[in-house]
């Protein structure tokens, strides 16, 4: 069967989309660049986890935060309204963080 003459593609002389502004295009390009970088990092993490199942970034971060909770501020260098440098010793005195 054939379509009636008024519905054929030849009769359409307008674009099927509305062209956006230059600022919209720039924003979409920025979003795409940001998303592509993050997606690449996600893929790399997934590949590392696949290749080395013992590597668990979240568990490593949890361990680091747990270790940092044992630190106490012992000294600081006052140079203005706020400390410029500081260091903390762990409660058992075996570790120091600056």
| Other Cβ atoms closer than 10 A to 13 | 5
Higher local confidence (pLDDT), 33 or 87: 33
How far apart CA 1 and CA 85 sit, in angstroms, is: 82
Sheet strands side by side (includes 96-97):
71-78, 83-90, 96-97
Q: What is the pLDDT of residues 14-63, one digit of tens each?
A: 667 778 899 999 999 999 999 999 999 999 988 887 887 676 777 788 88
How far apart CA 85 and CA 98 sit, in angstroms, is: 7
Helix or strand or coil: residue 42?
Answer: helix
Interacting residues of 37 by C-beta distance below 8 A, sequence separation 6+: none
Confidence band of 67 (pLDDT split at 50, 70, 90): confident
pTM: 0.38
């Amino acid at each position: 069967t054939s379509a009636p003459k008024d519905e054929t593609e030849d009769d359409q002389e307008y674009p099927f989309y509305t062209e956006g502004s230059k600022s919209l295009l720039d924003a979409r390009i920025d979003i795409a660049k940001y998303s592509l970088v993050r997606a690449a990092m996600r893929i790399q993490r997934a590949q590392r986890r696949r290749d080395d199942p013992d590597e668990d970034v979240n568990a490593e971060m949890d361990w680091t935060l747990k270790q940092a909770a044992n630190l106490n501020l012992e000294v600081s260098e006052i140079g203005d309204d706020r400390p410029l440098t500081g260091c903390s010793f762990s409660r058992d005195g075996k570790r120091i963080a600056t």
